[in-house]
Amino acid sequence: MKNRTITFKTPISIQETATIAGPKEGAGPLKDYYHNILENDVLGQKSFESAEIKIHTYTIKHMLNRAKLKENDIDCVFCGDLLDEIIGCNYTMREFDIAFMGLYNACATFGEALILGATMLDAGHMEKVICSTASHFSSAERKFRYPLELGSQRTPLSQWTVTGAGSTLLSKQDVSKIKITMATVGRVVDYGVSDANDMGAAMAPAAMDTLIAHFRDTGRKPDYYDLIATGDLGHSGSRLLQKLIKEKNIELNDNYTDCGILVYNRESQDVQQGGSGTGCCSLVFNSYIYTQLKRGKYKKILLVPTGALVSKISSLQGETIPAIAHAVAIEVL
Amino acid sequence: MKLEGNEKKEYLAFVRKESPKTEHAKTMTRAFFLGGIICCIGQGISDLLRYLAPTLEEKIIMSFTLLIIITITGILTGFGIYDKIGDWGGAGSIIPITGFANSIVSPAIERKTEGVVLGLCNNMFTIAGPVIVIGLTVSVLVGLIYWFIGVI
């Protein structure tokens, strides 16, 4: 099978990160790591879509401030979200005088953004790029499920879309010890799951496929990494992945976790299987994981954002749910 | 990459085996009690109407009871209370007419950002619509059967 792993000639520095978390996320276990926490998730806007755009805009602005850079210093922004025609990003980027590439890989978009951004830098076309994703519980809920005020019960397998945004600033210069060294591009995997409330089961095979390809291409073993974090498989999806991949003689043990598990307190926050959404992985990586990399708790991590490429139309037409996962290896060099 | 046939069936069976199940004993008990409570409130309202206005016809009392319950549901939905009741009691909040009212008010609230006509009015019946269409169709069919039985 063809090699799907990119090894960057010069490892790409992660210069700075910025995050904004919604109120529910801000009350969760990672509350000390977020750069900003919102008091309410409407932000005085008329619609939840506008609120999501505001959150994303402020995150990118906050990042520029933290890095003490101007819009002129950034070559391109790679970003995506869950809304139709990725309008969240389109309107966010209307506020900036920066080149823009809009991406969609559902909740795996953050991985796609990091890979494309790092590749552009590695190829020498650009100097600094921003990779960013956002999602909003209320705008996603209405796009993929039911109106917010409908008195329906959430199924035990459902997940809670994260309200928040996370941005990463990648730089070609050697400005940080934390670097992206490798990336494995995922392929679309469909194991025939058709329950749109069970994203974990749809995405677990995609995560497995990418992990197997990554370990095969690089010759690394899971214990090479201090942390392997999937994007948003949730509690039940993570368990599925661990069992599935064990059958292929790969063991994911104590160094394995999932951003959807980390972001909420399952017992007290009533989130069923955990967090999901394009913002989930980028919020957790850019706050908690990046801080731990800086503090030296982790030296080598593998981030595997996972995305269920579901659409309401194809679900109604009887199609199953395809999924994708990308892996990005980040190491302290 | 797509799984077909037996491999797909095996995976889906594996997922079913591994996934947490709905706690039917809990959800059904809650639905039973919540549905019962809503019906008791309805009965209470109609009894109160009969007591306050003993001269009113039974038909009008029934209609007023429905109107009052629907209005209360609409207000509770608007304040974001009914969805919490529904999250607790499941089908118990969906089956009575309050569920129907909630299913019309909730998309209306959400879609008002897209304008009154094309947003709010257009989407009010996205959830309740199928219930109305199927209800009407079935009542016509049953009516026809009833008529044929009468002819025979």
User: First and final CA of chain B: distance in angstroms?
Assistant: 60
pLDDT per residue over A280-308, tens digit each? Answer: 999 999 999 999 999 999 999 999 999 99
Structure token pair of residue A225? 């990494």
User: How far is B80 from B82, CA to CA, in rounded Å?
Assistant: 6
* CA distance to partner chain B, nearest, from residue A314 (Å): 16
Q: What residues does each domain of chain A span? A: 9-171, 179-332
Q: Which of A150, A154, A201 sits opposite B19 (nearest CB)?
A: A201
Give the mutation candidate from B16, B18, B23, B37 for the A interface (greatest A CB count, under 10 A): B18
Q: Is B73 on the interface with A (CB under 8 A)?
A: no
How does the average pLDDT of chain B come out, rounded? 91
Cα–Cα nearest to A303, from A266, A269, A262, A270: A262
Reported ipTM: 0.86
User: Which neighbouring-strand residues pair with A63?
Assistant: none
Confidence at residue A1, expressed as pLDDT on a 0 to 100 scale: 75
Superfamily grouping for domain A179-332: Stage V sporulation protein AD (3.40.47.40)
**CA of A146 to nearest chain B CA: how many angstroms apart?**
8
Q: A9-171 and A179-332 share one CATH topology?
A: yes
A9-171: CATH architecture: 3-Layer(aba) Sandwich (3.40)
* Tens of pLDDT, residues A160-219: 999 999 999 999 999 999 999 999 999 999 999 998 888 999 999 999 999 999 999 999
Instruction: State which amino acid sits at residue A55.
Output: I
Strand partners, A229: A257, A303
- Chain B residue at shortest CA distance from A205: B11
Cβ neighbours of residue A141 closer than 8 Å, sequence gap 6 or more: A148, A161
Q: Which two tokens stand for residue A220?
A: 């690394």
Q: What pLDDT does residue A329 have?
A: 97
Would you say residue A95 has pLDDT above 90? yes
Q: How far is residue A268's CA from residue A253's CA, in Å, rounded to a whole number?
A: 25
Q: A152, A189, A312: best mutation site toward chain B, by most B Cβ within 10 Å?
A: A152
Is A149 within 8 Å of B18 when comparing Cβ atoms? no
pLDDT (mean) for B10-14: 92
From chain A, the residues in CB contact with B99 under 8 A are 151
Q: What is the pLDDT of residue A121?
A: 96
pLDDT, tens only, B76-119: 999 999 999 999 998 999 888 999 999 999 999 988 888 999 98
